[in-house]
Amino acid sequence: MTGHQGEPQSVLSRLISNQFDFILEPDDHVIFSCSVIPNQVNIDNRDRMERELRARKVRIFKDVHVSGHASREDLKDLITILNPKTIVPSHGPEKKRIVLHDLAREMGYKSVLLDDGRTLSLP
């Protein structure tokens, strides 16, 4: 749900303010799978949110960071599972696309790198 930075209109903030039918109760758990983006507004908002959660006796687990990006091994597993005919790295900075392109080729797959605006015809 939204609200890991303590944003006032986020779902978590509104949940804490009893704006939903679901009510946080003592011994409920809230897991922040992120770190606070280090600016004073976010730090203050998150501190306020955590104080409100603790006042409700909600257990808080924080700094449980999970990357939103796949590791090399995750990409290998995904490529193996999908077994594509051709891989076209298409989202992200060029450096990251080259890494995926090289990995696909190391695994024996056909991979095509395209410059922005270029097209590729597939059979």
Q: What does the pLDDT look like over 10-49, one tens digit per residue?
A: 999 999 999 999 999 999 999 988 888 899 999 999 999 9
28: alpha, beta or left? (left if phi > 0; alpha if psi -120 to 50): beta
pLDDT of residue 13: 93
Average pLDDT over residues 94-102: 95
pLDDT at 98 over 80: yes
pLDDT of residue 123: 75
Closest CA to 61 of 35, 16, 25, 31: 31
Q: What is the pTM of this model?
A: 0.55
pLDDT of residue 19: 94
Q: What pLDDT, in 10s, does the model give residues 52-66?
A: 999 999 999 987 877
Task: Tell me the C-alpha to C-alpha distance, in Å, between residue 78 and each of 3, 74, 109.
Answer: 30, 6, 13
pLDDT of residue 39: 93
Task: Tell me the C-alpha to C-alpha distance, in Å, between residue 83 and each of 41, 48, 65, 79, 100.
Answer: 46, 48, 30, 6, 15
